[in-house]
Amino acid sequence: MQEFIEDDNLDSDDEHELFEHYKFIADKGQELLRIDKFLMDRIPNTSRNKIQQAAISGTILVNKKAVKSNYKVKPKDEISIVLPYPPRVIELIPQDIPLNILYEDKDLIVLNKQSEMVVHPGYGNYTGTLVNALVYHFQNLPEGPMDNRPGLVHRLDKNTTGIMVVAKTEHALNHLANQFFERTTERRYNALVWGDFEEDEGTVTGHVGRSLKNRKVMNVFPEGDYGKHAVTHYKVLKRYGYVTLVECKLETGRTHQIRVHMKFIGHSLFNDNEYGGDTILKGTSFSKYKQFITNCFDILPRQALHAKSLGFTHPTTGKWMQFESELPNDMKEVLDKWETYISSRKEN
């Protein structure tokens, strides 16, 4: 396996930091592979053209020497690359993308995010995002933590569905952002995970940070020597034998927190291809069961995670606001299939 060497600038929040730096050491068993392909597999949200341009610019180094994009990576090669961040100010293109709005007033919007929708523009996703839709439907949204994130105070993964709140005024943005920072909001998710639980409820505590070997995913660091403090409370809602529907309540809000915490305790989310949930983890591999799981994956081609409810204090009225959303159709259909499957097994 490749070793990833953490660089101080990887997760920099410094607005003046214009470049991201990556360093890798090829495994001793590494097969010969073009360096542009090697880097494409390891750097999130990049493109082959971008890597090739870095080679032309002389910013891909192997053993401290610049190489071309067709260089073949060898065992134990020390590789570094410098890539420019996209401009902080990205032209936000308003797009008439339908939004499922659950509530709106002069201060905020509460909406139900669909699957396959990236929240804000970034590498490879400059259009078609939630923000592109927001700037079309709403005028003068306050600037978020970066110029391309107006109104945003929190995020959901691309393939996670469910409730989000968006600020419409500067006051609401600051007030809501502070609530998320102080952990006074209430966020509950429904997740279908592999395996059964001995207990009906529990808590997962473990620092969450980017994997030191694969920056595309997060990892749990139980000793707290890396990453950020993270706590997830879970409760069993329905047992299906091979899988379980659980409610997860976030005490903190780290990137991929539920997904990585569930994997950490041996219950990867159903069909989560980044955390090992896209293979048969429980049950048998007999043809009928395998076909059943394949059919479920086809219906739900993403991790089975939905932001079910969100509660917060209204930034102007001071009243507690609580919102609920129904499970999306793909999760409902898969749960129905599990109900039928388990019932048929009991009858036999």
- CA 314 vs CA 156, 205, 304, 311: distances in Å: 21, 29, 30, 9
157 is catalytic: yes
Q: Which residue among 77, 157, 278, 330 is the active-site one?
A: 157
Secondary structure E strands in the chain: 3-4, 19-25, 33-34, 60-62, 65-66, 72-73, 78-84, 101-104, 108-113, 161-167, 186-194, 201-205, 207-210, 218-221, 231-239, 243-250, 305-313, 320-324
Measured from the Cβ of residue 232, the count of other Cβ atoms closer than 10 Å reads 26
Q: Do 229 and 239 touch, CB atoms closer than 8 A?
A: no
Q: Which two tokens stand for residue 160?
A: 């996670």
Q: Are strands 305-313 and 161-167 parallel, antiparallel or unpaired?
A: parallel
Please choose, from the candidates 116, 113, 122, the residue with its C-alpha nearest in 3D space to the C-alpha of residue 144.
Answer: 122
Radius of gyration for the alpha carbons in the chain, expressed in angstroms and rounded: 22
3-class DSSP state of 343: helix
List, in order, residues 6 or more apart from 59 with CB less than 8 Å away: 66, 81, 82, 83
Query: What does the CA dihedral 99, 326, 238, 268 come to, rounded to 10 degrees?
Result: 0
* Placement of tokens 């180094």 in the chain: 61
Q: Residue 316 has what DSSP assignment?
A: T
For 288-292, the CB contacts below 8 A with 24+ separation are 292/337, 292/341
Catalytic residues, which ones? Answer: 157
